Amino acid sequence: MIYAGNFKSNHTRKSTEYYLKALAQKLGAKQAEDKVYIFPPLTAIDHYEGDFTLGVQNAYPTHHGAFTGEIGLEQLDEFDIKTILLGHSERREHLGESQADISKKFAFFQDQDFEIVYCIGEPLAIREKGFEAVMQYLLAQFEGIDIGYENLIVAYEPIWAIGTGRSATVEEISSTHRALKKVLKHTPLLYGGSAKPSNIKEIKNIAGVDGVLVGSASLETESFLEMILS
Ligand code: PGA
């Protein structure tokens, strides 16, 4: 299983340091084959010790240059960051990232051999139209994306389940993952959207779920650990 924690704009450099220290101490108890990823805010990236991988929530597809407010490869290299989250619905929605922008980032970081956690997900209005509409919407988010890339992890995150406390149902996750797996084949496929200690077992047991991408419930070490060790 893969357990990825996305802090979004939460935690400081100091609190991330405390968090990761506490997490690292307890990760010896996890299954050896399980993998843990943490995506802290950019101000908290650093070299940390522990059985987890540190990634970034965003970066600009450039080595360096004149891109005010952004960071590029040179800044990531300084901290040996080789993992990036791309396509998150919050960046698509609030930062206006288009599929073309995202595919440019994808190609750049693929070229740099980054491990890419690529997010897709449909809004509620599309889910309400039915399964065919959902799949059409999701597959369009693979436009310009090399889904055969060997360092790719895909996260299916229905937008209406993110941060709402209301996870998708077992049936919704199961049917969507089954259909996505037909296209993705061996690429690990995560579920994201209100995954938490109380529903993690149920989610993990769904065929085609290779792990979870967790926002809110990853913010406290205890809660994220409970999920990892469940
Ligand atoms: P959530 O966020 O767990 O708070 O729903 C998930 C995500 O956006 O990755």
Q: Which atom of ligand 1 is nearest to the CA of 8?
A: 8
Q: Which atom of ligand 1 is nearest to the CA of 6?
A: 9
Q: Which of 88, 122, 172, 177 is catalytic?
A: 88
190 in contact with ligand 1, CB cutoff 6 A? no
CB-count burial class (<10 Å; 0-12, 13-18, 19+) for 81: buried
pLDDT at 189: 98
Q: Which atom of ligand 1 is nearest to the CA of 196?
A: 3
**What CATH architecture does domain 2-228 belong to?**
Alpha-Beta Barrel (3.20)
Q: Which atom of ligand 1 is nearest to the CA of 155?
A: 9
157 in contact with ligand 1, CB cutoff 6 A? yes
How far apart are alpha carbons 226 and 230 in whole angstroms? 6
What's the whole-model pTM score?
0.97
167 in contact with ligand 1, CB cutoff 6 A? no
> Is the distance from CB of 118 to CB of 145 less than 8 angstroms?
yes
> Is the distance from CB of 213 to CB of 38 less than 8 angstroms?
no
pLDDT at 20: 98
What separation in Å is there between the alpha carbon of 40 and the centre of ligand 1? 13
Q: Is 33 a catalytic residue?
A: no
What separation in Å is there between the alpha carbon of 195 and the centre of ligand 1? 7
Q: Domain spans of the chain?
A: 2-228
Q: Is 157 a catalytic residue?
A: yes
Segment 94-116, tens digit of pLDDT: 999 999 999 999 999 999 999 99
6 in contact with ligand 1, CB cutoff 6 A? yes
CA-nearest residue for atom 2, ligand 1, is 215
Out of 94, 153, 157, give the residue to mutate to test ligand 1, the one with the largest number of ligand atoms within 8 Å of its CB: 157
Q: Which of 90, 97, 122, 157 is catalytic?
A: 157
pLDDT at 218: 98
Q: Which residues of the chain have pLDDT under 70?
A: none
Residue 101's SS3 state is helix
Q: Could you give the C-alpha distances from 120 to 1, 32, 78, 230, in angstroms and in order?
A: 19, 28, 29, 26
83 in contact with ligand 1, CB cutoff 6 A? no
CA-nearest residue for atom 6, ligand 1, is 215
> Is the distance from CB of 85 to CB of 58 less than 8 angstroms?
yes
